[in-house]
A and B are shown apart, each in its own frame.
Chain A
Amino acid sequence: MNSTANPDCAAAECFHCGQPVPLNAHYPVEIEHVSREMCCRGCQAVAEAIVDGGLVDYYQHRTAKSGAAAPDAADVVPEWLRQAKLYDLPEVQQSFVRQETGEVREASLILEGIVCAACVWLNERHISGLPGVLSVEINYSTHRARVRWDNSRIKLSEILHAVAAIGYTAHPFDPGRQEQIFLKERQAALRRLFIAGIGMMQVMMYAVPVYVAGGDGSMPPWIENMMRWASLVLTLPVVGYSAWPFFIGAWRDLKLRQAGMDVPVALGVGAAFTASVYATLTGGGEVYFDSVTMFVFFLLSGRFLEMGARRKAADAAEKLVKMQPAMANRLSAYPDSQADELVAVSSLSAGEYLLIRPGESVPADGVVEQGGSRVDESLLTGESRPVMKNVGGCLIAGTINVDSPLVMRVEGLGQDTVLSGIVRLLDRALAEKPALAQVADRVASWFVLVLLLIAVGTGVAWYFIEPARALWITVAVLVVSCPCALSLATPAALTAATGSLTRLGLLTTRGHALETLAKASYFVFDKTGTLTHGKMSLLETIVLRDASREHCLVLAAALERASEHAIADAIVSAASEVGSATSRFEDQCEVAKISNFPGSGVEGEVGGRRCRLGRPAFVAELCASPVPEELVRERNGATVVALGDENGWLALFALGDTLRPDAASLVKGLQQRGKTVVLLSGDQKDAVQGVARQLGITTLRAAMTPQGKLDFVRGLQGEGAVVAMVGDGVNDAPVLAAAGVSIAMGGGTQVARASADMILLSEHLPHLLAGVDIAVKTSHIIRQNLAWAFVYNLIAIPLAALGYITPWMAGIGMSASSLMVVLNALRLVDPSAVKDRS
């Protein structure tokens, strides 16, 4: 909710949710002997439930205000909760509930509305206090809860109701195989990392005395021998377990006749380890156990951090799948009877009739049979305005019915829906991508091949010069040239930069994203939801008679108060922002006999006169005078809503999307950095031009189809441009995938997140600018790192090949060189690199 936009429009903030308290509202709750004002009945009920539950500590410890409670949280049970009873049926529970002995059951829930640690505590305490609940665990980072309960004493639906009573929403979900695989992978990576870590520490302990003594005879041979054996025992699990993925990767590369980065890593580790074991067994030569463990540990840490960042990005897409409707209201005997029954979507078939209540999602593709309502298709089009659907109109699965009930006939299900078609398009675009990444791999594999050839050449040469030293010198070459600095150069810098960006709320989901962002020359924006709020608000009021602006607004708000669509919200919130002036009119605006004409507007009686609010044509019927066309046309593509009574026109309201406050500075910042900013939009030309003019964007394309956007981006790429695409909405998804680097807004439609390379979770546009700067800095650091690795190898390999480097020097050189690379990369973590940007 956009509660901070107008901090001064009301005197107080709701103690519970932080939204402004409406002027004439009075919803007090006594919290710790102080009466606090709430903004609505919903928040009041929630706060009372918290206080009564002895959970007042929540208000002390919370670090963020909770989200607003649904206005009807107190008495009207939300639609989905009415269905919650269904979750008690054994056949429905099958998919997500695990039965234990007797009546004990366990389920996973996704909790919505968690903003800080206090929320977790509040939920845990509240749920565990319910009679019959055996245990509850909530994971703070994933917002998932695991609940165990005794089914003979409490039902799952009652637990869901209890969570709703304190203002949160819990959805049961099937943790699924994907989830378990992720958990297992994470645990395995942690084990590998830790074993490498303690192995490294202890082996280093054994290695230091040997280095210090330096073979000057001050250390008796039996001690050195024993240290070697101890090191061998500890290195064995590090090589055999922690480094195992590298050997697997190298083996896979060899089978495919490629030379990836895993090959020299595996060879270096393998050769150094084998040589050390040989030296230990024969009691001669040098050992490199410390180098081996240290190298494995450094590499694994980089991979582990990388994995965590990727995992976070995948979550959003996963949640979306769970949120799609699983249940539908089937009208089995339609049109003879309107009786509906709840059934699973999977059991539907084409030709059946469904009832969709306001606020519900459309479960399948189909056609409206009865009723008329506006439908929110933003999931598909990214367009914020709900679209009117009358009898015969097409409905698309996944969209949301906004105003009034609809009866639909099912036409497409499952794989045949429009949504799955878009997903397939997206898959194809994704499949085309790796071409760019493979070039980098090929260069690396050549380097690796050259390295291997040098090692072999050295071995052969020394076999003829001095056979006794041949093995040791070859190993020295492999160890010293061990591409640690080379293979750490890129991931270390990327990991550090990704961490900095995540703290800014810019999540990176693909490895190549930063590199490409640094090179991007074109920034292509989708208007809706990226540069604008993607939400209706009142832009302008044109008063047509001798009434005041406030009076018209209050009257309109009174007429709309019962409705709950985007336009009504915009008018009601605009009316409450007018402030104290409005209270004078409240009494004159008692509205009676409100009736709703879906798709046209509302009608009501004020002081004995009929009033209408809605489409100009609809109001014109009552006013008996023609629509003031030129006024409507002047409004630059904004939606115009008219207000009138029997005596004529009262006012026109222009509503539209507003620009995000930082959009202009972002566009200017990008242009200052020499980037070309392009605006692509599916909206009409006037609206797009209006936005472009305000932001100083000269290149724009309006009324674009998804295919058109894709062609435009391909065209730019054909000219050699590197395109960064910022968008939201599924219609952007194929374009997002085709662009060199794609950035999705966190508040945008969630499917787009799945395909975007970066996600702006903070929705704070200047962070994108900071992201560009960090990306540029990252590519500098990667270049420095690669240069260092190259220079190091260029000096060290010839020295080693000529036999000037003893293996312990090679080990230290290798470790020092990788340490240099990591330390250089860590400069990106420095918060000051980030701070002065925002």
Chain B
Amino acid sequence: MESLYLLIPISVILIFLVGWIFIWAVKSGQFDDMEGPAHRILMDDDKPPSDAAKKNHSNEE
């Protein structure tokens, strides 16, 4: 029972920690776009552009 002397204050501190993490997350814009990231994770970024693209690019400029 006496352990509660320690556990209850710890739970309060933990909650404040969670609150602080959340405020940081809101501040850094993690909740600004609620849909995009869910889709973005499905797409691979590991194919490099082909040579043709680079050529086209230099033509444009």
Residue contacts A-B, CB under 8 angstroms, 14 given:
A52-B52, A53-B50, A140-B35, A141-B34, A141-B35, A141-B36, A194-B19, A194-B23, A198-B19, A220-B1, A223-B4, A227-B8, A230-B11, A230-B12
Chain A residues with CB under 8 Å of B60's CB are 158, 161-162, 165
Residues of B within 8 A of A120 (CB): 36, 39-40
Please provide the 7 A-B residue pairs with the shortest distance between their CB atoms, ordered closest to farther.
Answer: A117-B39, A140-B36, A52-B53, A54-B49, A52-B52, A53-B53, A139-B33
User: Are A191 and B35 in contact, with the CB atoms below 8 A?
Assistant: no
Asked if A233 lies at the interface with its beta carbon under 8 angstroms from chain B, I say yes
Whether the Cβ atoms of B52 and A226 lie closer than 8 Å is no
Q: Are A52 and B50 in contact (CB under 8 A)?
A: yes
A121 lies within 8 A of B33 (CB): no
List chain B residues, Cβ under 8 A from A227: 8
Complex CA distance for A54 and B44, rounded to whole angstroms: 11
Closest to B55 in A: A52
Return chain B residues, CB-CB under 8 Å to A138.
36
**Interface residues of chain A: helix, strand, loop or mixed (majority):** helix
Which chain A residues border B34 with CB–CB below 8 Å? 141
**Contact of A758 with B by CB under 8 A:** no
Residue ID in chain B nearest A158 by CB atoms = B61
**Could you tell me which residues of chain B, from 6 to 49, have a CB within 8 Å of some CB in chain A?**
8-9, 11-12, 15, 18-19, 22-23, 26-27, 31-36, 39-40, 42-45, 47-49
| B contact residues vs A (CB 8 Å cutoff) | 1, 4-5, 8-9, 11-12, 15, 18-19, 22-23, 26-27, 31-36, 39-40, 42-45, 47-50, 52-53, 56-57, 60-61
On whether the beta carbons of A226 and B1 are closer than 8 Å, the reply is no
Known: A54-B48, A55-B47, A138-B36. 10 other contacts (CB 8 A): A53-B49, A53-B53, A54-B47, A54-B49, A158-B60, A187-B31, A202-B12, A206-B8, A220-B1, A223-B4
B44 and chain A: residue at smallest CB distance: A57
| Contact-size category for A | 35 or more
CB of A77, distance to nearest CB on chain B (Å): 11
**Beta-carbon nearest neighbor of B48 in chain A:** A54
List A484-534 residues whose CB lies under 8 Å from chain B. none
Indicate which residue in B26, B39, B44 contacts A187 across the interface (CB closer than 8 Å). Answer: B26
> A183 an interface residue at 8 Å Cβ cutoff?
yes
Q: Closest residue of chain B to A124, judged by CB? A: B40
Q: Within 8 Å CB of A826, what residues of B?
A: none
Known A120-B39, A165-B60; contact A226-B27, beta-carbon cutoff 8 A: no
* A607 interface residue (CB < 8 Å to B): no
Task: Tell me, rounded to whole Å, the shortest Cβ–Cβ distance linking A225 to chain B.
Answer: 10
**Inter-chain contact A202/B36, CB cutoff 8 Å:** no
1/0 contact trace for A47-75 toward B, CB 8 Å? Answer: 00101111111000100000000000000
Q: Which B residues lie within 8 Å of A358 (CB)?
A: none
Please encode chain A, from 475 to 490, with 1 for each CB lying within 8 Å of some chain B CB and 0 for all others.
0000000000000000
Residues from 174 to 210 in A contacting B, C-beta threshold 8 Å: 183, 187, 190-191, 194-195, 198-199, 202, 205-206
A405: interface (CB < 8 Å): no
- Contact between B43 and A61 (Cβ–Cβ < 8 Å)? yes
Checking A117, A129, A165, A230 against B35 with a beta-carbon cut-off of 8 angstroms, the contacting residue is A117
CB–CB A49/B40 < 8 A:
no
Whether B22 and A121, one on each chain, are in contact in the complex, defined by CB atoms closer than 8 angstroms, is no
Chain A contacts for B56, CB-based, 8 A: 49, 52
B36's contact among A57, A117, A233, by CB below 8 Å, is which? A117
Question: Is A118 at the interface (CB under 8 A from chain B)?
Answer: yes
Cβ-defined partner of B15 (8 Å) among A49, A142, A190, A198: A198
B40 to chain A, nearest CB (A): 6
When the two chains form the complex, which single residue of B22, B36, B48, B57 contacts A191, counting CB atoms closer than 8 Å?
B22
User: How many Å lie between the Cα of A56 and that of B46 in the bound state?
Assistant: 12
Task: Bits for A117-154, please: 1 = Cβ < 8 Å to B, else 0.
Answer: 11011001100011000000011111000000000000
> Which one of A52, A61, A158, A183 has the greatest number of beta carbons of chain B within 10 Å?
A52
**CB proximity of A253 to chain B, nearest CB, Å:** 29
* Cβ-closest chain B residue relative to A197: B22
| A56, A120, A138: most-surrounded residue (chain B CB, <10 A) | A120
In the complex formed, the residue of B with least CB distance to A122 is B43
Cα–Cα, bound, A227→B5 (Å): 10
Alpha-carbon separation in the docked complex, A404 to B53 (Å): 37
Q: Does A234 contact B (CB under 8 A)?
A: yes
* Residue on A nearest B35 in the bound complex, by CB: A140
Inter-chain CA distance A388–B44, complex, in Å, is 52
Task: Tell me the bound Cα distance from A202 to B23 in angstroms.
Answer: 18
Query: B39 CB to closest chain A CB, in angstroms?
Result: 3
Q: Are A194 and B22 in contact (CB under 8 A)?
A: yes
- Neighbouring A residues of B12 by C-beta, 8 Å: 202, 230, 233-234
In the bound assembly, the distance between CA atoms of A455 and B23 in angstroms comes to: 38
- B35–A237 CB distance below 8 A: no
List, in ascending order, chain A residues with CB within 8 A of B1's CB.
Answer: 220, 223
CB-nearest residue of chain B relative to A227? B8
Min CB distance A182 to B, Å, is: 11
CA A142 to CA B34, docked complex, whole Å: 10
Question: In angstroms, how far is the closest chain A Cβ from the Cβ of B26?
Answer: 5
Please give the distance in Å from A123's CB to the nearest CB on chain B: 11
The smallest beta-carbon distance between A200 and chain B, in angstroms, is 11
Nearest B residue to A45 via CB reads B56
B-facing residues in A329-344 (Cβ within 8 Å): none
Looking at the assembled complex, report how far the CB atom of B2 sits from the nearest CB atom of chain A, in whole angstroms: 10
> Residues of A contacting B26 with CB < 8 Å?
187, 190-191, 194
One of A57, A142, A191 near B43 (C-beta < 8 A): A57
Write out the residue numbers on chain B whose beta carbons fall within 8 Å of the beta carbon of A237.
Answer: 19
The chain B residue sitting closest to A140, CB to CB, is B36
Q: A198-B18, A230-B11, A237-B19 are in contact. Are A187 and B27 (CB under 8 A)?
A: yes
In the complex, residue of chain B having the shortest beta-carbon distance to the beta carbon of A53: B53
Partner of A141, one of B11, B33, B48: B33
Taking a contact as CB atoms under 8 Å apart, the answer to whether A121 and B43 are in contact is yes
Report the minimum CB–CB distance from B46 to chain A (whole Å).
10
Of chain B, the residue at the smallest CB distance from A233 is: B12
Q: Are A202 and B47 interface neighbours, CB within 8 A?
A: no
Name which of B11, B27, B44, B57 has the most chain A CB atoms within 10 A of its CB.
B57
CB neighbours (8 Å) of B35 from chain A are 117, 140-141
On whether the beta carbons of B9 and A230 are closer than 8 Å, the reply is yes
